[in-house]
């Protein structure tokens, strides 16, 4: 519950319900399960747009013309390659390094290779850094995934889309059109989601006028925490632990009896099924038509069905992570790459918020409620 201090007002743990900025980038209605990017419903973008076009929308506040989209495609593909010194640095990472740690480190290091002047940036500098980060993150994720196994990175291909090129760089196989489309939609639905922890990290860091590589590195660091990113990994571990659809009911009942959380169910904002979960579930069904059924999905569907009358009645419903991990694993993606893929998608939203923050000159400096001692006397060492 909120507490009140007469000198500073209300205290809300985690800033719950406290507006800290104004934004025109995205909006969420958690009661009805509605998500919009720049006023356009996520379902429309998932069905009709591409990640490249959606990123343009997020960054510039409007849909691009055909010529603008073609130029954006060309520039994104042109920026995909990474400098050999960054690859050399990655070769020195321990094989046990988590992909998120590798990604945060390399993004921070990029700031040294692409330095920007302090102070106000030009429109061209802003455009260039956005293209650089969006295009290179998939290359960094795929390169580390291969290098940690002793394999050389696969160079990006300029003839492939953002989604298809990433899948190609992972294993050298060009994805089918359906696999490409499903990866593309997965990137779209993860691209932006208002002021979550990693986005807040972005704008707090940006408010100090730190360079954008530092801002995105800070966001990746926030996303790496188990309470933010990585929930889809927990879902897969849960489903694998259940192992058989006939065990789903007893597993759920046991968890409910112990009042333990069910991975992938519940969201801080949504009190109904996450619209992104609906879209990802549809994608998985399409994918099975090409690649065959997976018993993991059957278990997940059963858990969702059984939880409707209990958790669902309390507004605890499947979130985006409930089905995303199943989709990624069906695409042959290693489990520990799920959160880096989240970052690959969310970087366009982070950058949109970074750009928006540039219009404000006010540094974030929240206050606190001090609950420690006061007026104590220093005790010399010999008297302690």
Q: What are phi and psi of 36, to 5 degrees?
A: -130, 140
**Can you give the pLDDT at residue 344?**
97
- Could you tell me the two tokens for 366? 């929240």
pTM of the model: 0.93
Position 33 pLDDT exceeds 50: yes
Q: Mean per-residue pLDDT for 145-171?
A: 96
Ranges for all domains in the chain classified under CATH 1.10.580.10? 26-228+336-358
3 state DSSP class of 1 = coil
Neighbours of 371 (CB within 10 A): 7
CATH 1.10.230.10 is held by the domain 231-330: yes
Angle CA(254)–CA(271)–CA(10) in degrees, nearest 5? 105
CB contact at 8 A, 342 and 166: no
Interhelix angle 212-223/123-147, nearest 10 degrees: 40
Query: Average pLDDT for residues 93-103, to the nearest whole number?
Result: 95
Residue 1: predicted pLDDT? 42
pLDDT at position 6 is 46
pLDDT at residue 345 in the model: 97
Distance, CA of 165 to CA of 185 (rounded, Å): 14
Reported confidence tier of residue 380, pLDDT bands at 50, 70, 90:
very high
Higher pLDDT, 292 or 131: 131
Task: Kindly state the tokens that stand for 122.
Answer: 């030009």
CA distance 319 to 263: 9
Q: Where in the chain do CATH 1.10.230.10 domains reside?
A: 231-330
* pLDDT of 8 higher than 70: no
Q: What is the mean pLDDT of the chain?
A: 93
Q: If you compute the radius of gyration of the chain from its CA atoms, what whole number of angstroms results?
A: 22
26-228+336-358 is classed CATH 3.40.50.1580: no
CA torsion 130-131-134-135 (nearest 10°) is -160
Catalytic residues: 267, 321
What's the CA gap between 180 and 191, in Å, rounded?
17
Torsion of CA 42, 46, 52, 57, to 10 degrees: -20
């Amino acid at each position: 519950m909120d507490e009140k201090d007469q000198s500073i007002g209300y205290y809300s743990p985690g800033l719950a319900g406290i507006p800290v900025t104004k934004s025109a980038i995205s909006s969420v209605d958690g009661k009805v399960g509605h998500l919009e990017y720049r006023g356009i419903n996520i379902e429309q973008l998932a069905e009709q747009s591409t990640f490249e076009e959606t990123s343009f929308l997020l960054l510039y506040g409007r849909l691009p013309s055909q010529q603008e989209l073609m130029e954006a495609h060309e520039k994104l593909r042109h920026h995909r390659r990474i400098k050999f010194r960054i690859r050399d640095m990655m070769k020195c990472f321990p094989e046990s390094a988590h992909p998120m740690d590798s990604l945060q480190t390399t993004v921070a290091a990029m700031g040294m290779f692409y330095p920007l002047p302090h102070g106000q940036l030009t429109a061209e500098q802003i455009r260039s850094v956005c293209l650089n980060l969006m295009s290179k993150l998939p290359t960094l994720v795929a390169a580390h995934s291969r290098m940690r196994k002793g394999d050389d990175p696969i160079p990006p291909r300029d003839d492939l889309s953002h989604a298809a090129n990433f899948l190609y760089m992972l294993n050298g196989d060009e994805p089918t059109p359906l696999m490409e489309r499903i990866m593309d939609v997965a990137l779209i639905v993860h691209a932006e989601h208002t002021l979550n922890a990693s986005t807040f990290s972005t704008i707090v860091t940006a408010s100090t006028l730190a360079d954008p590589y530092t801002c995105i590195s800070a966001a990746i660091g926030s996303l790496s925490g188990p309470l933010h990113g990585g929930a889809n990994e927990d879902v897969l571990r849960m489903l694998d632990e259940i192992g058989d659809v006939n065990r789903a009911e007893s597993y759920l009942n046991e968890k409910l009896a112990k009042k333990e959380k069910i991975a992938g169910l519940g969201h801080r904002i949504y009190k109904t099924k996450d619209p992104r979960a609906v879209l990802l579930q549809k994608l998985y069904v399409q994918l099975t038509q090409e690649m065959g059924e997976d018993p993991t999905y059957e278990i997940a569907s059963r858990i969702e069905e059984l939880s409707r009358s209990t958790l669902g009645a309390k507004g605890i419903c499947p979130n985006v992570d409930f089905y995303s991990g199943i989709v990624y694993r069906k695409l042959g993606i290693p489990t520990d790459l799920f959160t880096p893929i989240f970052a690959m998608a969310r970087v366009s939203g982070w950058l949109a918020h970074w750009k928006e923050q540039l219009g404000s000159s006010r540094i974030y400096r929240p206050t606190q409620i001090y609950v420690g001692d006061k007026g104590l006397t220093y005790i010399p060492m010999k008297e302690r």
